[in-house]
A and B are shown apart, each in its own frame.
Chain A
Amino acid sequence: MRKHAVWLAVFFALLLVPAFKLEGYYYRTLSMIFLWIGLASAWNLTSGFTGYIDFGAVAYFGIGNYATALSMTKAGVPFFPAIMISGLLSGMVALFIGRYTMKLRGAYFGIATLAFAEAASQIVLEFDRTFHVTIFEGSHGITLPIAHDETFFYYTFLIVAALIVFIAFLTDRNKFGYALKAIKEAENSAELAGIDTQRCKVSVYAVTGVMIGVLGGINAYWLTYISPLDVFSVTHTIHMIIMALFGGIGTVFGPVIGAVVLSLANETLGARLLYTYLLMLGVILVVVVIFLPGGFIGLLSFRRFRK
């Protein structure tokens, strides 16, 4: 229990950080870390717990971004209702996509979701040009109004990310979470034991969709400019996967650790040497899969086990 108290203390300490009136750069970096903690944890909730690796999670991020951007600029909806719309819409799309893709096992699911994300990106990019309308603005992207200061986003990201980690924490301990883990271990046996596996998988996938969608909505207002190639970039999915895997896939705090480490790596290396950085991510992925399938957290518990 003491271990969890540490995480709680970290959260309260982070709430107090703005009292020190730091420079904008630190707020931006911390906000970015919170965003990734949220994304990696949300991704882990479906893929880590059930073992269904979602290669198209960025689709919900993109949908969230666009839903907030469009409802704020075209319909004049205020920010908070707008991110609710983002979450709702992403969740509904995830419910629909999950209903069909979650029937597929393993790699079929992976590629189907990957193709879905690529298709979503292309549709947003090409829709206006193909049908001669102006909705998504194609590759021009959308510019959002600038309104709030850095601390506003700092708190919004912090609270949403903490909420997502808290939900993962609860799921790890309740019956629903046990059902998800049973699916990962032996899906057919889980079904024989009376678990409605399809229902569980689709529900958790929709919850993940809502979470990623809300984060996408905040992201749009934070960046104030979005374009399809940015917010639907497959690199975002790669990050979610690698953060969760690096920290410890299927654990509650693994994705948090992975997100902190890799966000900082991205901040220092990714901005200047993108290809080298992505190459490095590939190497990490292969090395972790072969030598360290439990991730960082797995390494820690293994040590403790040996003592």
Chain B
Amino acid sequence: MALLIQALITGLLMGGVYAAYSSGFSLIFGVMNIVNIFHGELIMIGAFTTYWLYTLYHIDPFLTLPLSIISAGVIGYVIQRFVINRVVEAPPMMSYLCTFGIHLILGNLALLLWSADFRTVTTSYSGIGFSLGPVTIPIARLITFLIAICTTFGVYLFLEKARYGKAIRAASQDKETARLVGIDIKKVYALTFAIGAAITGLAGGLISTHFVIYPQMGLPYTIIAFCVVVLGGMGYIPGALVGGLLLGVIQSLTATYLSSGLSIAITFILLFIILVLKPRGIMGKGIVE
């Protein structure tokens, strides 16, 4: 029983981080209809920003999160502004071949710069947790979880309430009319991409505090992001939260009771079933192409 509760808590804590970076993925898809295959590389960039600042200057990983946000956000903005904007109106096939190319460029550039070594950020409080009856909750993971959940809510509120958020929603709902009322679509796209990338960079920084990081870590995270947003509904931000938590729990239960090596396989089977049975996601509010 304690094992089950522990697995559930571990899954929820991980699921929060999934939710945060998947909401970035969902935002980019919802607005531009672009499936961002280099999403995982943005996580890697956020994680390595934290790693280098910690290793070289010994700054606490939670304090450097703003820099993870900025580095991934700026890279996202630049790529969107100068590369993806050129194919955003082309058939969708072209835009995701393009993001696939960027995935190769960023991943291999990182390999050339930093080698394929596995790295960790080990702080004084790594591995310390508090007990709650029979289960242990690691402090770093709990803080991570709280920041991730707040971020996801923040994005949701921004889209609902802020002026720019409304412009983004207008652009995603009806591009032509948005243009007519004076919204600069290309600017909105670049901004959306920057926001999506920034959240993802933040999640990368959070991930570095308790997971191994390496230049090629991106692809599995991209697949997870896709699975999360398919579960919750593509382009629907609250869906990312539900999907993220659910997937975190499922993976944790798989790792506890079956084999941690099979987590991607389980993720895929789940993805497959949802795509076939409920393509709009479990809450039925996603966008279907």
Question: Footprint of B on A, CB under 8 Å?
Answer: 51, 53, 55, 100-101, 103-108, 110-112, 114-116, 118-119, 122-123, 125-126, 129-130, 234, 238, 241, 245, 275-276, 278-279, 281-286, 289-290, 293
By a CB distance below 8 angstroms, the chain A residues around B219 are 118, 234
Do residues B275 and A112 form an inter-chain contact, with CB atoms below 8 A? yes
Do residues B275 and A100 form an inter-chain contact, with CB atoms below 8 A? yes
Do residues A279 and B112 form an inter-chain contact, with CB atoms below 8 A? yes
Looking across the interface, which residue of chain B has its beta carbon closest to that of A110?
B96
Do residues B289 and A106 form an inter-chain contact, with CB atoms below 8 A? yes
Given contact pairs A110-B35, A116-B272, A234-B219, enumerate 14 new A-B contacts (beta carbons under 8 Å): A51-B91, A111-B226, A112-B271, A115-B226, A116-B268, A119-B268, A122-B264, A122-B265, A129-B259, A275-B108, A281-B104, A285-B98, A293-B90, A293-B94
Do residues A276 and B268 form an inter-chain contact, with CB atoms below 8 A? no
* Among all A-B residue pairs, the 8 with the closest Cβ atoms: A282-B104, A285-B101, A107-B35, A119-B268, A282-B105, A286-B101, A126-B261, A105-B289
By a CB distance below 8 angstroms, the chain B residues around A107 are 29, 35, 92, 96, 289
The smallest C-beta distance from B289 to any residue of chain A, in angstroms, reads: 4
Q: Which of B90, B219, B226, B279 neighbours the largest number of chain A CB atoms within 10 Å of its CB?
A: B226
Looking across the interface, which residue of chain A has its beta carbon closest to that of B109?
A279
A104, B271: Cα distance in complex, Å: 12
Contacts A104-B279, A122-B262, A122-B265 given; indicate if A115 touches B96 (C-beta within 8 A). no
Q: 1/0 per position for B38-56, CB-CB distance to A under 8 A?
A: 0000000000000000000
Q: Which of A53, A245, A284 neighbours the largest number of chain B CB atoms within 10 Å of its CB?
A: A53
The smallest C-beta distance from A181 to any residue of chain B, in angstroms, reads: 14
A-B contact pairs, 28 of them (CB 8 A): A51-B91, A104-B279, A107-B29, A107-B35, A107-B289, A111-B35, A115-B267, A116-B272, A119-B268, A119-B269, A125-B261, A126-B262, A130-B262, A238-B100, A241-B97, A241-B100, A245-B97, A275-B108, A279-B105, A282-B101, A282-B102, A282-B108, A283-B105, A286-B98, A286-B102, A286-B105, A289-B87, A290-B98
B157 within 8 A of A: no
By a CB distance below 8 angstroms, the chain A residues around B35 are 106-107, 110-111
The smallest C-beta distance from B182 to any residue of chain A, in angstroms, reads: 28
Do residues A108 and B289 form an inter-chain contact, with CB atoms below 8 A? yes
Do residues B97 and A289 form an inter-chain contact, with CB atoms below 8 A? yes
Do residues B98 and A289 form an inter-chain contact, with CB atoms below 8 A? yes
Looking across the interface, which residue of chain B has its beta carbon closest to that of A112?
B275
Do residues B96 and A112 form an inter-chain contact, with CB atoms below 8 A? no
Q: 1/0 per position for B105-128, CB-CB distance to A under 8 A?
A: 101110110000000000000000
A116, B223: Cα distance in complex, Å: 10
A129, B288: Cα distance in complex, Å: 39
Looking across the interface, which residue of chain A has its beta carbon closest to that of B226?
A111
Q: Which of B97, B98, B102 neighbours the largest number of chain A CB atoms within 10 Å of its CB?
A: B97
Do residues B264 and A118 form an inter-chain contact, with CB atoms below 8 A? yes
Do residues B100 and A115 form an inter-chain contact, with CB atoms below 8 A? no
Do residues B90 and A122 form an inter-chain contact, with CB atoms below 8 A? no
Q: Which of B91, B107, B109, B275 neighbours the largest number of chain A CB atoms within 10 Å of its CB?
A: B275
Contacts A282-B103, A285-B101, A290-B86 given; indicate if A100 touches B272 (C-beta within 8 A). yes
Contacts A100-B272, A107-B35, A107-B289 given; indicate if A122 touches B261 (C-beta within 8 A). yes
A96, B147: Cα distance in complex, Å: 42
Number of A-B contacts (CB under 8 A): 129
Q: Contacting A238 at CB < 8 Å: which of B91, B104, B259?
A: B104
Looking across the interface, which residue of chain B has its beta carbon closest to that of A56?
B268
A281, B220: Cα distance in complex, Å: 20
Q: Contacting A104 at CB < 8 Å: which of B29, B97, B275?
A: B275
B143 within 8 A of A: no
Question: Interface on chain A toward B: helix, strand, loop, or mixed SS?
Answer: helix
B258 within 8 A of A: yes
Do residues B104 and A115 form an inter-chain contact, with CB atoms below 8 A? no
Do residues B97 and A53 form an inter-chain contact, with CB atoms below 8 A? yes
By a CB distance below 8 angstroms, the chain B residues around A100 are 272, 275-276
Do residues B93 and A51 form an inter-chain contact, with CB atoms below 8 A? yes
By a CB distance below 8 angstroms, the chain A residues around B199 are none
The smallest C-beta distance from A116 to any residue of chain B, in angstroms, reads: 6
Do residues A103 and B276 form an inter-chain contact, with CB atoms below 8 A? yes
A114, B87: Cα distance in complex, Å: 22
A229, B268: Cα distance in complex, Å: 18
A122, B254: Cα distance in complex, Å: 14
The smallest C-beta distance from B152 to any residue of chain A, in angstroms, reads: 21
The smallest C-beta distance from B89 to any residue of chain A, in angstroms, reads: 12
The smallest C-beta distance from A28 to any residue of chain B, in angstroms, reads: 26
B227 within 8 A of A: yes
Q: Which of B265, B272, B276 neighbours the largest number of chain A CB atoms within 10 Å of its CB?
A: B265
A53, B96: Cα distance in complex, Å: 9
The smallest C-beta distance from B250 to any residue of chain A, in angstroms, reads: 14
B83 within 8 A of A: yes
A184, B14: Cα distance in complex, Å: 40
The smallest C-beta distance from B245 to any residue of chain A, in angstroms, reads: 20
A281, B106: Cα distance in complex, Å: 12
Looking across the interface, which residue of chain A has its beta carbon closest to that of B111?
A275
Looking across the interface, which residue of chain B has its beta carbon closest to that of A291?
B86
The smallest C-beta distance from B191 to any residue of chain A, in angstroms, reads: 21
A70, B192: Cα distance in complex, Å: 50
Contacts A104-B279, A282-B104, A286-B105 given; indicate if A118 touches B91 (C-beta within 8 A). no
The smallest C-beta distance from B278 to any residue of chain A, in angstroms, reads: 13
By a CB distance below 8 angstroms, the chain A residues around B101 are 281-286, 289
